[in-house]
Amino acid sequence: MEVVPSSQLYYTVCLLSLHNHHNFLINQFHKRMISLRVPAPSSFNLQRLNSQALERRWRLGRDCFLSFSPSCVENRIGLGVRSTKSEMAPFTAAEEETLPEGLQPELMPKHVAVIMDGNGRWAKIQGLQPWDGHRAGVEALREIVELCGKWGIQVLTVFAFSTDNWIRPKIEIDFLLSLFERTLKSELETLAKNNVRISIIGDSSKLPKSLLEVINEVEEVTKNNTRLQLIVAVGYSGKYDVLQACRGIAQRVKDGEIDVEEIDEGLIEQELETNVTEFPYPDLLIRTSGELRVSNFLLWQLAYTELFFAQELWPDFGRNGFVEALMSFQQRQRRFGGRKS
Amino acid sequence: MVDQIRHMCVGINQILEQIHGFSRRCLFRVISMGPLPIHLAKKQDLEDGSGHKAGFSALMSMLQYCYELGIKYVTVYAFSIDNFRRKPEEVRSLMDLMLEKIKSLLDKESIVHEYGIHVYFIGNLALLSDQVRAAAEEVMQATAENSRVGLLVCVAYNSTDEIVQAVKKSCVTKLDRDMETIQLVDIEENMQMSVAPDPDILIRSSGETRLSNFLLWQTGSSQLFSPDALWPEIGLRHLVWAILNFQKSHSYFEKKKKKQM
């Protein structure tokens, strides 16, 4: 490699400061950049401003400070009225909605997984406390569960709480777990009526006893429902799942039930926590808030899953975002290592 | 002349990265995944073989950029166990190409010696033909002394297969003890990929956004990047863009990690 002469160094320094400024601009527009499907780096598009927030019916019973972020101006959160949407609207077979235009029924995914990211950031942008963000997140989840039921998706797995989340402040964790408990209790009747089955996966050893009792009750009551299976991952980590499968298998080897040589992928699949469902492998994984990571969710099961990264924060995701994800999914060619002939 | 300009550009790039001052040092690891470029071959009406050859030269230049930028480990997904399902002629031509290229790595002027690369071949090597396996093992032995940078080539590899092998080994070693003592580290140290740290970035070309059974265990917290360009078209700008994006989110991620410790 050549030694760079000093005059060129001068130009390099100029380029550098431009580059730094460029980076500064990138950071400013961070929330709106298309980060995954990237065109040539010389151009970047401003993503369409988030308009779904206008439909968010979440209101809080106190003042909300509007931040100066443009996306918040779009949101126009009202003041003073508590949300009236506290129960899921019952849906029956007669009300099964036709799919939105552009979606084909034969290409719908059987199993959709969602990483519900961005509650905290959403709350910060709105000028609210983190737990308000989580409450808004629950509303968004209700909407998606309804849509899945109506559109024939059979399994929906949501990443509610990861093993990494235990580091959050205790007050937030306590709120989250109690929110989870309250939501399960209040929604149990609606879910049972709507033929939804709930399963909880994850390391339950750290969960409070009252929550564990509610979980057992909910799982028991809904275990024969068939329309939609909602799997909630609480205290879950993909690596932990494989580890506990490994321990289960090792125990079976020790007991003489199977031979070490017989250990194969099918065996591990049987031992994983997702064995509660007939379709353990998601067809589509959606992650909101623009983060381009899998964050240790459903590690083994994501081998051939189509990934979709949405820029919106989870409380803003809603129906439009979901339709966009499904449309993107339906357009993809899935080859599983083979060749399209 | 063109060569000199290229060197200057890479040099400028280097300076830009260094003066940036972000903490992208040392154990930075990039993975590039190249799906076999039949689209390109068909588009340009070339034979399938040329598509793969073009892919290989893209790989070589990508490796050069990576090592010059200071990236310590690069892992590439050369051939998956699922790819054995393709037409036998294609599989055979791929194997022949691989054999030829693996042997060329042993040449004196090859990239291996230029950068002091330690080459690893990861995967279920028993599934390969004897010739390819022998060549791979020869290269691994020949480069075992190198320690500057690492190149991990995944051949006959499936992440689920890797995990199964690691589970088997953990079971065997812990058979005489309580099963509860099997910890994450036991599985991890039995993984073939444990020779290198977890990747920071995963790049998948051709616009598909899925992992396709590649490094599922190791990419739990990697930044994913999915340019639309097909593999032979991948160039320096995609790499730089990926790294810039990574650096942008890296500082936020580091803060989160520090909170965890």
- Predicted TM-score (pTM) of the model is 0.74
Q: What is the pLDDT of residue A155?
A: 94
**Single-letter residue type at B26:** C
- Residue bearing tokens 């995954």: A36
CA-nearest residue to B157 within chain A is A337
Instruction: Determine contact: A24 vs chain B, CB below 8 A.
Output: no
- Name the pLDDT band for A8 (thresholds 50, 70, 90): low
Q: What is the pLDDT of residue A64?
A: 35
Between CA A277 and CA A230 the distance in angstroms is: 10
pLDDT at A43 over 70: no
Quick count: other Cβ atoms within 10 Å of Cβ B220?
A: 18
Strand partners, A196: A228
Q: In this predicted complex, what is the ipTM?
A: 0.77
- Residue bearing tokens 């006959």: B156
- Name the pLDDT band for A310 (thresholds 50, 70, 90): very high
Q: Find how far residue B117's CA is from the centre of its chain.
A: 13
DSSP string, A37-50: S---TT--PBPPP-
Residues of B in contact with A38 (CB under 8 A): 225-228, 238, 241
Most confidently predicted of A313-322, B44-53, B62-71: A313-322
A65 φ/ψ sector (left φ>0, alpha ψ -120 to 50, else beta): beta
Q: Is A65 helix (H, G, I), strand (E, B) or coil?
A: coil
Identify the weakest region by mean pLDDT among A11-20, A58-67, A93-102, B106-115.
A58-67
Give the tokens for residue A230: 């909602």
Mean pLDDT, residues A251-278:
88
A153-169 residue pLDDT tens: 999 999 988 888 888 88
Identify the weakest region by mean pLDDT among A108-117, A211-220, A256-265, B252-261.
B252-261
Q: What is the pLDDT of residue A203?
A: 87
Residues of B in contact with A239 (CB under 8 A): 184, 217, 220
CA-nearest residue to A169 within chain B is B259
Q: Do B213 and A239 touch (CB under 8 A)?
A: no
B169-200 residue pLDDT tens: 888 887 766 666 777 777 888 888 888 888 88
Edge-to-edge strand list for the sheet holding B73-80: B117-122, B149-157, B73-80, B29-33, B201-204, B223-225
A208-249 residue pLDDT tens: 899 999 999 999 999 899 899 999 999 899 988 998 898 888
The catalytically annotated residue of A63, A117, A264, A316 is: A117
Strand partners, B216: none
Between CA A152 and CA A110 the distance in angstroms is: 8
Between CA A165 and CA A314 the distance in angstroms is: 16
Between CA A38 and CA B210 the distance in angstroms is: 16
Between CA A299 and CA B28 the distance in angstroms is: 22
Instruction: Determine contact: A25 vs chain B, CB below 8 A.
Output: no
Q: Do A293 and B213 touch (CB under 8 A)?
A: no
B-contacting residues in A 238-257 (Cβ below 8 Å): 238-240, 242-243, 245-247, 249-251, 253-254
- Name the pLDDT band for B255 (thresholds 50, 70, 90): low
Instruction: Report the length, in residues, of chain A.
Output: 341
